[in-house]
Structure 1
Amino acid sequence: MRAAEVVPGRPDASRVVDREVAERPGELLVEGLLAGVCGTDVEIVRDGFGTVPPGRDAIVPFHESLGRVLSSPTPDFAPGDLVAGVVRRPDPEPCPACAVGAWDFCRNGRYTERGIKELDGYGLQRWTVPPRYAIRLDPALGDAGVLTEPASVVAKAWTRAAAEAGRSHVPVRTALVTGAGPIGLLAALLGVQRGLSVHVVDRVADGPKPDLVTALGARYHTDLDRVPGDVDVAIECTGHPPLVWDCVRRASVTVLAGLSGEHDPVPLDPSVFDGIVMGNRVVVGTVNAGLPDYLEAAEALSRASRPWLDGLITRRVPLDRFAEALDREPDDVKVVVDLT
């Protein structure tokens, strides 16, 4: 079997290797079909983010997965089932969160993550996974099943938003999504599926993004000032500090789902701070996802328009040239590595 392999912080060391993957007792054996590429993968390869498995100097990348079951130790899965693998694993202690299966809220940082932290990812032609960390997908999804992991991230964001809005007695009718990358577009999808009036803001004026938003029945803007009035919920997907403050200023509940990557201080407008206090506004962060979020994501994708989902996958790169997937092109939305 062939596998991608990278050394964090050394792009020149990226390569394809032969890797034997044998069946493991109690685990599914899966044929890898696609691996999705996201900014985290770029940070691993180019910036040295992440941690290789113990005793190794390289890691198999990619945490967004789609595969087909070859064999299963449990009747819950059958050969031919489409599956996606969960990314995070609980820490060994476990902490109070991991002890109840909420590993996405791990409190001591000793969790592991496939393709990111101490575990090989899904960038290989065969992989194994324990059944509890596999999500069976609607077979009609086809290649769009590779969107399960990013959809799980926004499913968690919407769950957190709904919980905080409920505590604040906010009837959620309107939503603002900043950023029209895969996370932002999937956040918009889930917002529309909830029956909300959704506004998406992104600086790109042409290409596939405006059409994808419009096809959802949401409204696309290149200027936040064109979004009318305040909103009930904002899902901030860019990490761009000025947009973060704009979301906090305008939304009753803001969920931060994007990392800034910036280190220069950004002045805080006192009116934003005062608005948080006087308006009982809520700001929460979210990262990764738990098993309920994956299941909700799989259900949301199964209800979505298949042509719309297919429109998110804008570029496919063969495994032998997987490093090309890390170079962003102007019209990219979701780039995938074809493992077959």
Structure 2
Amino acid sequence: MRALTVQPGTAGSARIEDLPDPAAGAGELLVEGVALGVCGTDREIAQGSYGWAPPGRERLVLGHESLGRVRQAPPGSGFSPGDLVVGVVRRPDPVPCGACAHGEFDMCRNGRYTERGIKELDGYAAELWTLDTAYAVKLDPQLADVGMLMEPTTVVAKAWEQIDRIGARAWYEPRTVLVTGAGPIGLLAALLGVQRGLEVHVLDRVAAGAKADAVAALGATYHHDPVADVAAKVCPDIVVEATGAGSVVFDAIAHTGAYGITCLTGVSTPGRKLTIDAGADNRQIVLENDVVVGSVNANLRHYHAAARALAQADQGWLQRLITRRVPLQDFADALTAHDGDIKVVLTLSGGER
């Protein structure tokens, strides 16, 4: 089988390799890879700035935004050949910590978790892969063309769960949400906001194009003015921050409504400095009972919530998010960001050998 591998820590090491076909062990599925979503983490690993190979190996099979079809399934597993599945990314640590022991491995406290395609476990950028049935999630067959959006949807499913839990500390009847950033995470966060019946506003830097069109098609309102100006007009009850840009983060925090919730999902690049009035920010957060929470990764509960959200979504709208489909052999193009990209997808089956 062909697989896209990298040597973590070495820039420009990505290549397609012919590897032995995997054999499913007890309690495992054998899955034919259909497609793979590409994200910033994959690009960082390919650039040598992130990632860990499996123990005793130099190279890692890339990819964590999976989509595949079951080829073989153990009897009584609840899976059958032909089922559309995705694989959970993270695995709990072997110790385990208290969070992992309770199934909350997205909140691992000791850092000994592993992650498919990222940290010490091979990923899903392969024509065949195996998957423990305990970490496989079946998708509605209608998601055959868009199911690789599942993993980023799990991230925002968790973010919304965190927001709802925090909101439940008091009377909670949110009306408006401002999503900063119209990449896949931002747009999927907006989708879940619309599904909750909220008035959704999305902000991004570009004035027009595929992102603005996707927001309009969702029935939300698109903005490209400075976040402070937009937030002052909208007065959001909730902000979902999906850019990771430091100035946007702090402006978003400063402009929620009273006892507002800001959920940070974008990962910032270190080394950039900002001048902020920390005293004023602290004063506002305390006096308005505001909450700022970071959210990343997902557990099985979030995967099932994401599967339901995608199945309920307009499939044509989901198709809008996939702006490029690239065959596996052209992986270098998929790992290069283009203007106008929302989600880039590697196709794994049916490609030329």
Both proteins in one fold, TM over 0.5: yes
Residue of structure 2 aligned with 1:117, choices 101, 116, 119: 119
Q: Distance in 2 between matches of 1:130 and 1:234?
A: 36
Q: Distance in 2 between matches of 1:13 and 1:273?
A: 45
Is the contact between residue 31 and residue 70 of structure 2 (CA under 8 Å) also seen in structure 1? Answer: yes
Residue 13 of structure 1: SS of its match in structure 2?
Answer: coil
Q: Distance in 1 between matches of 2:103 and 2:234?
A: 39
Q: Distance in 2 between matches of 1:325 and 1:8?
A: 18
Matching residue's letter, 2:237: D
Unaligned runs of 5+ in 1: none
Residue 144 of structure 2: SS of its match in structure 1?
Answer: helix
Distance apart, 1:268 and its partner CA = 2.4
Residue of structure 2 aligned with 1:285, choices 294, 299, 313: 294
Q: Does 1:201 align with 2:177?
A: no
Q: Distance in 2 between matches of 1:6 and 1:339?
A: 17
The aligned counterpart of 1:84 is: 86
The aligned counterpart of 2:230 is: 226
The aligned counterpart of 1:49 is: 50
Residue 261 of structure 1: SS of its match in structure 2?
Answer: coil
Residue 324 of structure 1: SS of its match in structure 2?
Answer: helix
The aligned counterpart of 2:314 is: 305
The aligned counterpart of 1:151 is: 153
Residue of structure 2 aligned with 1:246, choices 238, 242, 251: 251
Matching residue's letter, 1:26: G
Q: Distance in 1 between matches of 2:39 and 2:146?
A: 15
The aligned counterpart of 1:13 is: 13
TM-score, length of structure 1 as denominator length: 0.98
* Higher mean C-alpha deviation, range 256-265 or range 101-110: 256-265
Matching residue's letter, 1:286: S
Matching residue's letter, 1:204: V
Q: Distance in 2 between matches of 1:306 and 1:53?
A: 36
The residue correspondences of 1:1-340 to structure 2 (distance < 5 A) are 1-20=1-20, 21-73=22-74, 74-223=76-225, 224=227, 225-227=229-231, 228-251=233-256, 252-269=260-277, 270-340=279-349
Is the contact between residue 314 and residue 334 of structure 1 (CA under 8 Å) also seen in structure 2? Answer: yes
Is the contact between residue 89 and residue 113 of structure 1 (CA under 8 Å) also seen in structure 2? Answer: yes
Residue 12 of structure 2: SS of its match in structure 1?
Answer: strand
Distance apart, 1:142 and its partner CA = 1.4
Matching residue's letter, 1:60: V
* Higher mean C-alpha deviation, range 185-194 or range 225-234: 225-234
Residue 143 of structure 1: SS of its match in structure 2?
Answer: coil
Superposed CA offset, 1:171-209 (max 9, x none): 211101000000000000000000000110000112200
Is the contact between residue 77 and residue 133 of structure 2 (CA under 8 Å) also seen in structure 1? Answer: no
Q: Distance in 2 between matches of 1:282 and 1:267?
A: 21
Residue 215 and residue 329 in structure 1: after superposition, are their counterparts in 2 closer, same or farther (change >3 A)?
A: same
Q: Distance in 1 between matches of 2:48 and 2:223?
A: 32
TM-score, length of structure 2 as denominator length: 0.94
Distance apart, 1:168 and its partner CA = 3.7
Matching residue's letter, 2:262: T
Aligned residues, how many? 340
**Cα RMSD between the aligned structures?**
1.1
Residue 14 of structure 2: SS of its match in structure 1?
Answer: strand
